[in-house]
Amino acid sequence: MFMSNPLKALLVTFLTFIAHHLHAQDTVSNVKTLRGVTIFKSVYKEVIPSQKLSGDNLKSLNSFSVADAIRYFAGVQVKDYGGIGGLKTVDMRSMGTNHMGVFYDGIQLGNAQNGQIDLGKFSMDNIESISVYNGQKSEIFQPARDYGSSGTIYLRSRKPVFDSLKTTHFKGVFKTGSFDLINPSLLFEQKLTKNINASFSSEYVKSSGRYPFRYKRVFHESGNTAWDTTAIRKNGDISGLRLEGGLYGNIDRGVWNAKAYFYDSERGIPGAIVNNVWKRSQRQWDRNFFVQGSFQKNILTGYDLQVNAKYANDYMRYLNPDTTLMYIDNNFHQQEWYGSVANKYSITKKIDINLSTDFQYNTLSSNLDGFVFPERFTSLVALAGAADFGAIKMQASVLGTFIKERVARGNTAAGDSAVAAPAKMN
């Protein structure tokens, strides 16, 4: 029996397919399944629990300022004075803003005039993480000032990180929104050497703050409406500029950084609407500048040294041109010099002790008649210890604060004599 050529070709193709299919099945049957691997990791728990936002979680909030982001933390109260450009402060457990320590890159922000820190002037564009502690943080290797607050907020600015291929990062952002908001920002990071990185960040914000609101009054006796209208908020504008630069370096068994910060703003204070007064004329100017640096190094086995230093220069002017109330044009100028040395020694692998010594010098001046010019010398000494025995963690600290105040001289009205007060120790 003879087959035609087309039938032969079809038979050869069919046999080839069967052979290939059987070979594939044999190959699959030789696949080996590996046993599963379980990875265990011990989770470190802080002695003093904290709340922290960083990375993508912080970016997802889409907050305009640090004060807006802190609203998401539990147990804190944010007070907002004066709308979009107003003062924004934070307190914990109703202890008051003066008892809340705010730290920027590990060094505390100060205000010798009233002790309040305006968090509204710190933008989110250059913030890497925000941590809130009910007390001081669990890390004992810190300056003595960290132990002196009932609650603490740690702001960590963005630190340049480069891979092996890139040496420059650049980012420009422009935001706009309601109430004539204009908010451009710029970030530039450069890898200078193998161990030194630099960064520069700037931001400008401007807004009229003219938002509509409803104003209604009802007579309680009759329930009738006296008036019901929609008005535009006035004198709630703000214009602010922020400039920030930093250097970050690595050394043998240590790190260091240096930072300069400048903020300048003019804002309106809208005030309360009382007795059909729809507009207030108060204005406020702020200019804040500080330079700070930090150095940390493992000197010997079990011994670490940390040195911090800072100089701050702040200026504030308040103007009330309304002569029907009281004409006020006051300015305040304060300076701060700060230094800290912390020494940590590991007695064993599980027990550490730390001795920190801080020194701070503050001055405050004003153009007020009769205003005295105070000077404050503050010394702080803190001794802390920490022990980690696995399931049991312990931490204890003791802080001594020594304050010496002196009034050098005073402003006087025409014809009055200068006033000087003796130094006193608190």
Whether the predicted model's global pTM rises above the 0.85 cut: no
What b/e sequence results for 292-314 when a residue is b if at least 16 CB atoms lie within 10 Å of its CB, and e otherwise? bbbbbeeeeeeebbbebbbebeb
pLDDT at site 421:
37
375 lies in a domain? Answer: yes
273 lies in a domain? Answer: yes
Please give the tally of structural domains in the chain: 1
pLDDT at site 29:
53
**Distance between start and end Cα atoms, the chain:** 122
63 lies in a domain? Answer: yes
In order, the DSSP letters of 284-296 are: EEEEEEEEEEEEE
**What CATH number did the domain enclosing 315 receive?**
2.40.170
User: Which candidate, 333, 342, 311, places its Cα nearest to that of 146?
Assistant: 342
220 lies in a domain? Answer: yes
Residue 128 contacts residue 54 (beta carbons within 8 Å): yes
Q: What is the pLDDT of residues 220-242, one digit of tens each?
A: 777 788 778 888 888 888 999 99
303 lies in a domain? Answer: yes
Range of the domain at 363: 50-425
Q: What is the pLDDT of residues 104-114, one digit of tens each?
A: 998 999 888 87
390 lies in a domain? Answer: yes
287 lies in a domain? Answer: yes
Q: What is the pLDDT of residues 1-25, one digit of tens each?
A: 445 565 566 565 655 655 555 454 4
40 lies in a domain? Answer: no
